[in-house]
């Protein structure tokens, strides 16, 4: 039992350490996570905060071996109904800009899951940018109700800004 607990703690610590230091030289990723899915679910979501410390770039795609297809999605209001849609052209990241992918805003859709996402596990993601660079990270799988580490404050209200903030 102790051995399994230590192994789980080590994996969680490594996932957090890797994800917090993930960077392509300009973009850093913080607070990545995926939500646990019900046993027969074929779709899941992943979230994170992207901060661009370099020249403007665009997150054009995300890949993962955990799903048959991965898309970047957003929520839009369509005739009074909130709907998800794939983001055409990716998510732009200006110089010194932070964009939060969160429930109710931009997010990563994992479609055709090969197995359910289980709380306590991890999911590997590869972010692809418009200049051809990639960024690999491991996101811990949290409870189905998780909103992220920073959502305990005021960062998860969804005021139509897609989580963008500017650091000057």
Q: How confident is the model at residue 79 (pLDDT cuts 50, 70, 90)?
A: confident
Task: Flag whether pLDDT at 4 surpasses 50.
Answer: no
Q: Which helix (H) or strand (E) holds 45?
A: strand 43-52
> SS3 for 150?
helix
Give the model confidence (pLDDT) of 110-151 as tens digits.
Answer: 999 999 999 999 999 999 999 999 999 999 999 998 887 543
**CA–CA separation, 61 and 87 (whole Å):** 10
Whether 150 is in a domain gets the answer no
Residue 147: is it exposed, middle or buried by C-beta count within 10 angstroms (0-12/13-18/19+)?
middle
Whether 151 is in a domain gets the answer no
Whether 16 is in a domain gets the answer yes
Task: Flag whether pLDDT at 2 surpasses 70.
Answer: no
Whether 41 is in a domain gets the answer yes
Whether 53 is in a domain gets the answer yes
Cα angle value 23/5/146 (rounded, 5°) = 55
Whether 149 is in a domain gets the answer no
Tokens of 27: 């973009």
- Split into its structural domains, the chain has a count of 1
> How many CB atoms lie under 10 A from the CB of residue 46?
24
**CA–CA separation, 146 and 41 (whole Å):** 17
Whether 154 is in a domain gets the answer no
pLDDT at 25: 58
pLDDT at 166: 37
Task: Flag whether pLDDT at 161 surpasses 50.
Answer: no
Residue 8 belongs to what domain range? 2-144+160-166
Task: Flag whether pLDDT at 35 surpasses 50.
Answer: yes
Whether 52 is in a domain gets the answer yes
CATH code, domain with 100: 2.60.40.1890
Tokens of 165: 């903030």
Mean pLDDT on 33-56: 95
Q: Which helix (H) or strand (E) holds 122?
A: strand 122-129
């Amino acid at each position: 039992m102790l051995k399994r607990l230590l192994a789980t703690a080590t994996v969680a610590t490594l996932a957090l350490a890797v994800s917090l230091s993930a960077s392509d030289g300009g973009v850093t990723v913080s607070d990545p996570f995926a939500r646990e899915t019900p046993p027969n679910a074929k779709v899941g979501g992943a979230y994170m905060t992207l901060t661009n410390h370099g020249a403007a770039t665009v997150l054009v795609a995300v890949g993962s071996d955990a799903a048959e297809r991965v898309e970047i999605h957003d929520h839009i209001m369509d005739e009074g109904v909130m709907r998800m849609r794939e983001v055409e052209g990716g998510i732009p990241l200006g110089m010194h800009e932070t964009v939060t992918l969160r429930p109710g805003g931009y997010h990563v859709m994992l479609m055709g899951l090969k197995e359910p996402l289980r709380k306590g596990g991890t999911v590997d993601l590869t972010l692809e940018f418009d200049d051809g660079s990639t960024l690999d990270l491991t996101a811990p799988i949290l409870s189905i109700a998780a909103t992220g580490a920073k959502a305990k404050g005021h960062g998860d209200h969804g005021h139509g800004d897609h989580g963008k903030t500017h650091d000057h």
